[in-house]
Structure 1
Amino acid sequence: MKLLVCGGTGLVGGAIIRKLVEKGCTDVHATYFSKQPLNLRSVTWHKVDLRRQQDTQELFEKLRPKHVYLAAARVGGILANNTYKAQFIYDNLAIALNIIECAWRFKVDKLLNLGSSCIYPKHAPQPMKEEYLLTGSLEPTNEPYAIAKISAIKLVRYYNEQYGTNFISVMPTNLYGPNDNFNLETSHVLAALIRKFYLAKLLEQGNMDGIKKDLKRTPVGFGLDRQINYDDENCIISVLEKAGIKRSKDRVIVTLWGSGEVYREFLYSEDLADACVYLMEKVDADDMKKLSSDYFVNVGTGKDIKINDLAKMIKEIVGFEGEIEHDLTKPDGTPRKLLDVSKINAVGWRARTDLYEGIETVYRTYRQVGGVHNTRESFTD
């Protein structure tokens, strides 16, 4: 069976590809655009701008895939979502429109659309059930992205209802994993914390060579990369301070956005990939409709953690001995985002990776290879 992963170089897309290869799939195709594709022998890569209708149509006409994973998207944390609003809604709408239309037009047997837990109202009851979709106002800081993802859910539903397609969607909680984006301007909170505490530990140790190596291989963001003079240690320390890592007398302090009192749920990317492949193999649209009228299920762990506690956990894993302070002028975002995962559990799937162990794995990987090389925003293509 010919399989197509749209967004193969992203956190989720890459994990799905690895899962398919692990299962012995030999006709796997994947798209990329701005990032270098993964070096996997059994994967054929196609450089395509999925925001362009003609380019997307030419890809589907050429490949005629049977199963499609829609994992391509423009993603980011609070800052990126709130800064690049037009790009977030346009790019994600265009990608979804083009891929879902082509999946129907070229008779794809099955499509899985990746969404996000940000589709739910800001003050939705906890844990959030699938039926809470469109029952209240969205979190303003990521509304453009959420609207695009909600539109994709509805596209899946209405194509199924009008054309009899076999399309489904999954709504994962906050993700983290080895191929994450560690640009401090555009990353999500967990990846940003790993990077901040790692740099803070190096500063604490006086390891300027380690700091230089990190800054050279993975952009910081905020326009700071252009300011770095690697021959001037004071310049490097100044850049770190602007990124929220400062040395004060005999201690190092890491500054976190907001109060740290909000709760978040985190799912390991490899677990999400396992869930996606499981659903593609075992749950069709007719089965999904019995679970949700919009043909989607939540994917998560069913457990959340306060951001302050997450920060302390990462601090311990990294081995940073300094202090944490909070910038209360920055937004917290939604107070709590815990998914109800009873429906996906009911069809036989559960998350397996412990949060502490997952973070340890990601930290080890980051120390070895660094993060995604993005300077402005994260385009998971």
Structure 2
Amino acid sequence: MINPSTESMEDETNRSRTSSVIMPEVKEPLLEEHLVGPFRKTIKITGLDCRVIALAQNNPNLRIKSIITRIVALAVIALIFFRCGMIFKAEGPAMSLTWAESNMFAFMGIHAIACAFCIFGWTKNEFIPLHIARLNKVRALRVKESREMDDYSSVHRKAFIWSAFWFLALLSHAIASAATQKVIISGKPVIAPLYIAMPFLTLLACFIVTHCLIYYFLVHVSLKREIEYFNVELDEAKQEKRLHDPNTLVDFSHRQVELVRLVAKANESLGSYAQVAPMFCFNGCINAVYIASGFTDDLPSIFFAILLFNLFAVLAISFMTLRPASNVQFHLADTARVLMDSEEFEKSVDSEVFKGYQVMINRSLKHNVYIRVLGAIPIYPTAVNLAMFLFPNLGNLLALVKKVLVAHGVQV
């Protein structure tokens, strides 16, 4: 006969054990409005939002609207080409102030053209929805849910602040140039329609560059957060000695494969920007530093301040082009550090566990999901740090050459 008091004690023990088990929260899917936020609507201002073209493939009723959207997008790209051409046309004698200012803004004009084509392609091919679908697949493999990691509102606020800085820098130059009836501050006067149109074309270019960089940045932030969180959970499992369980190690290995695949798929689209944009950014940066170093006395203070403001804006764009991709590569490689910090695997008698450990380290260190500038230079932390040091100093070197030439009587 069972003692009622004993049965009551067993029930109480079972309840306490059940309550001590931490159940994972239900993983809600991440939606486009969560990742992109308000920029999902403001991108329409660029005239390059071609999502309707993708929708028209499955909905014949949208065919006419998709044709109109494509025509508008091509017209916007043509206007950005025209703006860039007008800035190039203002070029002066080699190594002069006009030459440097024209090069600075013309190369950033080419950068705006690259941004325009990227927005056109990303929206037409539904890059963001497809990325979010793949991201949700990886999110489902988390050990524990993290709502903070899925909240991008703080990133959206920072993006708005950066946008205001970029708009203010570029528009101040366009308005100052128009006030002197020129395309660029140190250039020659042009006809009224041109100098009146340039601030409006510059405003359009600001919207295009801003949205392209924000989309590029947000996708990289989502990749960085997911890989970083994977490393955090991997480190927790290592500290709790759970990685010696073959099933746990296999789960993490499978998740790592999905993360590498996620980065590779994202880079197929992000590469259309990152493979070419750094070249134009650094050309603009070199000329901006050259102006700041070599022409301090050749311009009124207000105009020199505007050009200096644009120097910082160009440096910021160069940094934002390289750093996000670099951060993703850093955290991919950091997985190997987490695993190599453990001495337990070398003592493991289970050959399958040790093999899985080696596979994960090799995958972390020898993956091939870099974005390569011009298909040659991989974007990873060491290369980024070198580039951010080297290229601005080329502008200083150019200013030094100018001073030597002037000292020897050469007119520049």
- When normalised by structure 1's length, the TM-score is 0.28
Larger radius of gyration: 2
Of structures 1 and 2, the one with the larger relative CO (CA 8 A, separation 6+) is: 1
Which is helix-richer, 1 or 2? 2
Which is strand-richer, 1 or 2? 1
